[in-house]
Structure 1
Amino acid sequence: MDSLSQIVLGGAVAAAIAPAQHRRAALLAGAALGTLPDLDVLPVKLLLDDPIAQMTWHRGPSHSLLVLPWLAWMIWGLCKWRGGRVAEAPARWWWAILLALITHPLLDAFTVYGTQLLWPLATPPVMWSSVFIIDPLYTVWLLIACMIAWFWPNRARAQYALIAGLVLSSAYLGWSLFAKQMIEQRAAAGLAAIGHADAPRVSVPMPFNTLLWRVVAMTPGGYLEGEYSLLADRGAMQFRAYPSDVAALSEVQQLPAVARFGWFNHGFQRARQMDGQLLLTDLRMGSEPDYFFNFAVAQQDASGQWQPLQPSEQIRLPQARSRMLQLERFWQRIWQASPN
């Protein structure tokens, strides 16, 4: 999720657990701890020069539920040794520190990017993909709660506000999972109607909401994309077919960068040739024809064979629509049924 959501989540969690007289300090500490896992972008950028490696190592060790408890223990132990608030209420501060840290990757797992919750185990990244990376209806309750707790830290209303903020934001995540199940049912009906009932698929909410969704399903020759508004559409989801160069992809799938990219995106990718290069696109993030992550992974030599690009190159493709026009279309689409 976005930084603001992680800051207010960490702050609310820590402040709800810490003693009332420590509430402002807990808000600040929780905000810092809620941000800490995403600082992995700094060593990733410094130590890795391949953009696919950079993408796939983000949300890795620093987001692991097998790593963060040890980090929490070290932070807690150091703070307790130094004395002060943590030494005054060590049990409460232990839980405040631990939960402020581990709620970060758990929240990230609700997005589609992919979070390696069990690193160093070689399991694919977790992507429950029920909320967009920025969703105001998740964040606003925590932001209000943190503001109340900051301005009235020692009053009962602060604790009530923090609990209410955590309950309401968690309830929104619960709603997002329920909405996703409804979308999955509509997608299953639509895919069955066109003979692709068993196609691997992923459903993703469109930006800033959980009412308009997008589904990508992989086929032997490419992929299908469908949109569905829970407010405007009725019946099964409609899909459009798009090609992918599956033959070229099969020729390079053993290359380390290609294999890692496919592992990270769960196979939801498009391959196409452009200017003698093979481009791979992550189909989970963006919508047709505009996608956020495009990488050149191989170059065709004089004999027509694919040679790996080391490192791979991230390609910035021209956008068919500006971001503002895309957002305007998404907003209108929430309220208007698909013309198909």
Structure 2
Amino acid sequence: MDSVTQAALGAAVAVAVVGKHSSIKKAAIWGAVIGTLPDLDVFIDYGDDLSEMVRHRGESHSLVYQTLIAPLLAWLICRWHQQQQHFKAWWLAVWLVLVTHSLLDTFTTYGTQLLLPFSNYPFALESIFVIDPLYTLPLLAGLVYAWRQPEKGLAANRIGLICSSGYLLWSVLAQQWVIHQVTQQGADASQSPYWLLVQPTALNTLVWRIIKVDEHGYQEGFYALSDGRRAVTFRQHYFPEQTEQLRAFTDAERLTRFSHGFVGYFQHDALFTMADLRMGMQGNYAFEFTLACQQHDGVKSTQLQQTRKSYQMVEMWLWAARRFLQQETGLTEAELRSENPCNTNSGR
């Protein structure tokens, strides 16, 4: 989730655990700071754009490493405030702040490597968008009340946590309802095997995006909870005819493993790109990378770099709002603005 949400969750968890043993303000500040720590891995240089993507939410989000570092952070806080007598409470608070950060991230699409160093599998339930105000606002409301009214603040903070957790549960139930609708509508034994993805669109849990990926391409459709039993209409996107060669490149295999197979391949004149289909919609993908060039003697890999596109989050949210109101409109594809590596002699 976004940094504001993680800071709010960390603060709320810390207040709930140590609010009786320390001041609410101290608990909230330390909770917010520790709740932000795991995401500082974005400042680590892993060498290339793809590595920085697939290694985000790695070691810093591992439940194993978080469990090991929690007592040290708690000891430092206790030393700072001379509260050694409350070490166990601070230890529990720090551990819960770190663990809930990673578990909340697991509900999003990106993928969180919870079990490092034993496994680098990226867990993703994909039931909530990476930014969702309806999850964050109850946390902030409870914290603000607790900050201003400490004598009644613990109850308000608990209510904020309960409301946000309830919304998280709602996102899972809504997702399962959409999956049920899609599978009921698409029960066709003659259809070729495909990977199915159901995820919320930007900033909401009312309009859901459905992706079906097979070896030839992918279908994209949308289902609003206001649709009832109305059938989902899918738009077919075909991969380039060179896709089998593209899939064999090492970088494509890395992205395929990370995205659980939801990789799209696109051709822009002589340039081939790949994108994580889970993050974005209708040609607006947050993570699209240059992959290969079409040359006279075949497809040759090129220097991998993330393409420069404007990620239209606000536009996608406005589109989703219109879609929920049954106003069918299209979303303009973001324009590829990167320098085309196929115009140079770079390759590898």
Alignment partner, residue 215 of structure 2: 220
Alignment partner, residue 85 of structure 2: 88
Deviation string 1:273-324 (CA, Å, 9 cap, x unpaired) is 32433200111111112222110122344411423x34x11112478xx655
The counterpart of 2:326, out of the listed 317, 326, 336, is 336
Tell me the TM-score normalized by structure 2.
0.88
User: What are the within-5 Å matches in structure 2 for residues 149-188 of structure 1?
Assistant: 149-153=146-150, 155=151, 157-188=152-183
Alignment partner, residue 27 of structure 2: 26
Deviation string 1:41-70 (CA, Å, 9 cap, x unpaired) is 111xxx323111111111111111111111
Task: Rate the CA distance shift 1:8–1:25 in 2: closer, same or farther, 3 A.
Answer: same
User: What are the within-5 Å matches in structure 2 for residues 47-86 of structure 1?
Assistant: 47-80=45-78, 82=79, 84-86=81-83
Alignment partner, residue 102 of structure 1: 99
Tell me the TM-score normalized by structure 1.
0.90
Conserved in 2, the CA contact under 8 Å of 1:191 and 1:197? no
Letter in 1 for 2:278: R
Alignment partner, residue 138 of structure 2: 141
Q: For 2:63, what is the secondary structure of its paired residue?
A: coil
Greater shift, 198-207 or 162-171, is seen at 198-207
Task: Rate the CA distance shift 1:230–1:195 in 2: closer, same or farther, 3 A.
Answer: farther
Alignment partner, residue 43 of structure 2: 42
In the alignment, the residues of structure 2 paired with residue 197 and residue 165 of structure 1 have an alpha-carbon distance, to the nearest angstrom, of 46
The counterpart of 1:279, out of the listed 254, 267, 273, is 273
Conserved in 1, the CA contact under 8 Å of 2:265 and 2:275? yes
For structure 1, which runs of at least 5 residues remain unmatched after alignment? none
Task: Rate the CA distance shift 1:90–1:325 in 2: closer, same or farther, 3 A.
Answer: closer
Conserved in 1, the CA contact under 8 Å of 2:11 and 2:30? yes
Conserved in 1, the CA contact under 8 Å of 2:202 and 2:316? no
Letter in 1 for 2:184: A
Deviation string 1:233-262 (CA, Å, 9 cap, x unpaired) is 4244232211013x5333243433222111
**TM-fit CA distance, 1:135:** 0.8
User: What are the within-5 Å matches in structure 2 for residues 151-300 of structure 1?
Assistant: 151-153=148-150, 155=151, 157-193=152-188, 195-196=190-191, 198-245=193-240, 248-300=242-294
Conserved in 1, the CA contact under 8 Å of 2:201 and 2:317? no
Conserved in 2, the CA contact under 8 Å of 1:251 and 1:306? no
Q: For 2:110, what is the secondary structure of its paired residue?
A: coil
For structure 2, which runs of at least 5 residues remain unmatched after alignment? 330-348
**TM-fit CA distance, 1:127:** 1.1
Alignment partner, residue 5 of structure 1: 5
**TM-fit CA distance, 1:329:** 2.0
In the alignment, the residues of structure 2 paired with residue 250 and residue 121 of structure 1 have an alpha-carbon distance, to the nearest angstrom, of 31
Task: Rate the CA distance shift 1:278–1:164 in 2: closer, same or farther, 3 A.
Answer: same
Deviation string 1:89-120 (CA, Å, 9 cap, x unpaired) is 11111111111111111111111111111122
Greater shift, 171-180 or 289-298, is seen at 289-298
**TM-fit CA distance, 1:133:** 0.9
**TM-fit CA distance, 1:197:** 7.6
Task: Rate the CA distance shift 1:194–1:86 in 2: closer, same or farther, 3 A.
Answer: farther
Task: Rate the CA distance shift 1:237–1:85 in 2: closer, same or farther, 3 A.
Answer: farther
Q: For 2:210, what is the secondary structure of its paired residue?
A: strand
Conserved in 1, the CA contact under 8 Å of 2:131 and 2:203? yes
Letter in 2 for 1:202: L
Q: For 1:128, what is the secondary structure of its paired residue?
A: coil
Q: Percent identity?
A: 36
Alignment partner, residue 125 of structure 2: 128
Letter in 2 for 1:31: A
Q: For 2:186, what is the secondary structure of its paired residue?
A: helix
Greater shift, 264-273 or 165-174, is seen at 264-273
Q: For 1:201, what is the secondary structure of its paired residue?
A: strand
Deviation string 1:71-104 (CA, Å, 9 cap, x unpaired) is 1122123334x26354131111111111111111
In the alignment, the residues of structure 2 paired with residue 15 and residue 190 of structure 1 have an alpha-carbon distance, to the nearest angstrom, of 46
**TM-fit CA distance, 1:338:** 5.9
In the alignment, the residues of structure 2 paired with residue 151 and residue 85 of structure 1 have an alpha-carbon distance, to the nearest angstrom, of 24
Task: Rate the CA distance shift 1:96–1:324 in 2: closer, same or farther, 3 A.
Answer: closer
